A and B are shown apart, each in its own frame.
Chain A
Amino acid sequence: MAKILKKEQWSDTIFSMLVEAKDVAKAAKPGQFIILIPKEHGERVPLTIADSSVNEGWVQIVFQVVGKSTLELSRMNEGEELFSFVGPLGMPSEVEKFQGKVVMIGGGIGIAPIHPIAKKLKEMGNHVVSIIGAKTADLLIMEDKIREASTEVIVATDDGSKGKKGFVNAVLEELLATEADNVSKIWAIGPPIMMKVCAISAGKFNKPIIVSLNPIMVDGTGMCGACRVTVGGQTKFACVDGPEFDGALVDFDELMARQRQYKELEQKALELYKSKEGVA
């Protein structure tokens, strides 16, 4: 059982939790994820690790309320225990000391999972340029932590309420236009459409880009194949072969279609829960 040690609400729909999980914190490496079940009747929810502390024995998760499970999770309080919390899962990010700059792109809730990777890369002596973007200034999360984990930070918002106005891929292209020769690796994590356009932008400059995929999963240990994705024409299981893949090779359209598989049922479950619990 994993106790919620600290809960913060960062926007209407974005929450952060520190969850007590000593062994997970000890084993966790950048790029890995956990799966939790909020309450007994719940489903298994995969979330990428945003941060962890070996000394204090916690793992940080950041999530956006999109359906019944995340709504139920957001309504749990400090001191309560999650029904299930398992991790770390997936292959860690392949981090090393690169020759040139490393560009870390985080979009929306995807800013959280780039944090541990950026932090590790910086520790290893890399020059880390982070591009973080959100729809609007209020939805921009973890800016301070990203600044600590980066050498330079560029902020972008869709509406221009903070930093540059526009999408993160436009910022990436602008950066690559002037110093493509000096960039050796790019990570992009966020909604599939954002990762797709970033991969196209990186491709224009022939730059390698890693993306972290978040398909629907069940067990998260390679047993069920729910999370299969097509990468370079081959079927991969995101849970055990990933979650990180070469962005140039990922079939993002298939990923997006597969994420919609249970849309109607998810909607039904959400409405039922809202009416039962009396939440708007």
Chain B
Amino acid sequence: MAERIKASEKFKRDRVPMKEQDPKERINNFNEVPYGYSFEEAIKEAQRCLQCKPAACVEGCPADVHVPEFIDKILDEDIEGAFKEIKLTNALPAICGRVCPQEEQCEGACVMNKKGKPIAIGRLERFVADLARDKGILDEPPAESSKASKRIAIVGSGPAGLACAADLAKLGYDVTIFEALHKPGGVLVYGIPEFRLPKAIVQYEVDQIKKMGVKIYTDYVIGYIKTVDELIESYDAVFLANGAGAPSFLRIPGENLNGVYSASEFLTRSNLMRAFDFPNYDTPLDVGKRVVVIGGGNVAMDAVRTAKRLGAEEAIIVYRRSRTEMPARAEEIEHAEAEGIQFELLTNPIKILGDENGKVKGLECVRMELGEPDESGRRRPVPIEGSNFVMDVDNVIVAIGQNANPIVARSATGVETNKWGYFVADEETGKTTHPKVWAGGDIVTGAATVILAVGAGKKAAKSIHETLSQK
């Protein structure tokens, strides 16, 4: 049992930093950047928790993780207890502990945040999940249930699908996930790089969900091999969690030149297909000396940091607004800066230039200044006349967001979509316009975060259970 410290002492102490790989080293490898807390560090951080009742952090968590309870069990040095406490509501703790934007959720809501020193809940969650995995601590198996006769189909094995599957399996349902790619995990395997989320960890958490009895069919594209309408006929409920999935391009000249990638392609080649390990893996990726990534979100940071690791001497973010408007997490931007990523802010690309072989050689941009706020509340960037200039570049990676992929939707006749092609679903329950169909994650909200998808999966599971229990 670790010592409980006095409240006054709690306020005095600072957040325990998490050690990480030296930036000079890590730009040469794909190993994870932060090392995670040691036991001592975790105890020291856990001691700062005020154990609020009710707890604002739990309110701030889309997965309703019992934060004070699991932190208290860390202080009891009861890792198994802490792990089970987290697993009560979150099937993916090692993943969420790494990729959630905690500053906007649990840690943003933490009382200590008023002092700028919120409890490092994400790091503690990760610590518990990692230690449990190392020690082989397993969650309770789901109880045998009479509900096993009710069958649920889930389209997509990303965070929304996995979270929904885990909660329904716990309740005793017979759950089958259909995954289009050859590996389960969705964006967790094709989108997020190894250095932020090791794929072995994703695999482990997916395996735990399989052990709960969830079946996962990979290489199974709903919309082609079976329609959603067919799933509706043979299952008691269907949850659509197929992700946003269609990359947006800039619609500027030169976008189809060789050397131009969508961030989705660039990251899928590297993450899912392991192009970073070419030629041990067969999928190639062409990365030159100067790589520009267009965009300011988390995906842009993932792409630019991947480019650096793949040998780009200069890896540059081009973003049309200023740093304050960048939608990427502060931590991602800081990591990128530490790795020597350059930022061309208030800069907008207008044309990609190619050589005689159809390969990228330059990017014409224009400088921007911030004008009046637009409908998003952010100040609208406007071009500065006559400020055009050309950057010499070998690759251009477009990371400006995604559109709805139409494959699943066009095979779901009774399920309404909005004008952008996203499913219309109730925010609280995930219910769609079809009584047997629920939807959640990016295919409802447009590209968002892993944890919001987890939250949507959980809400849908709850609503599916309530609906099927009434029958």
Identify the A interface with B (CB < 8 A): 23-24, 27, 32, 37, 41-44, 68-69, 83-89, 218-219, 221-226, 228-230, 235, 237, 240, 254, 257-258, 260-262, 265-266, 268-269, 272
Contacts and interface: CB of A to CB of B under 8 A. Distances in A.
Which of B219, B247, B251, B286 has the most chain A CB atoms closer than 10 A to its own CB?
Answer: B219
A23 B255 CA distance: 37
Interface in B9-54: none
B420 interface: no
Contact of A87 (B190, B225, B274): B225
Contacts, number: 124
A266 B182 CA distance: 22
A82 B218 CA distance: 13
B280 interface: yes
B391 interface: no
Contact of B284 (A37, A223, A265, A272): A265
Contacts of B407: 221-222, 240
A27 B282 contact: no
Contact of A224 (B218, B258, B265): B265
Interface of B: 180-182, 190, 218-221, 224-226, 245-247, 249, 251, 255-256, 258-259, 261-262, 264-265, 268-269, 273-274, 278-284, 286, 357-358, 405-407
Which of A43, A229, A266, A272 has the most chain B CB atoms closer than 10 A to its own CB?
Answer: A43
Main secondary structure of the interface of B (DSSP, over half): loop
B311 to A, nearest CB: 13
Given A218-B265, A224-B262, A84 B182 contact: yes
A219 B282 CA distance: 15
Contacts of B221: 86-87, 89, 221
B360 to A, nearest CB: 11
A41 B358 contact: no
A218 B269 contact: yes
B255 A257 contact: no
Contacts of B218: 84
A254 B354 CA distance: 12
A280 to B, nearest CB: 19
A214 to B, nearest CB: 16
Contacts of B261: 226
Contacts of A87: 221, 224-225
Nearest to A86: B219
B94 to A, nearest CB: 24
A257 B406 CA distance: 28
Contacts of A221: 180, 221, 245, 405, 407
Nearest to B267: A224
A277 B218 CA distance: 30
B249 A225 contact: yes
B224 A88 contact: yes
Contacts of A37: 182
Contacts of B220: 23, 86
A223 B246 contact: yes
Given A86-B219, A265-B279, 7 more contacts: A41-B282, A86-B220, A219-B181, A257-B357, A258-B256, A258-B258, A269-B278
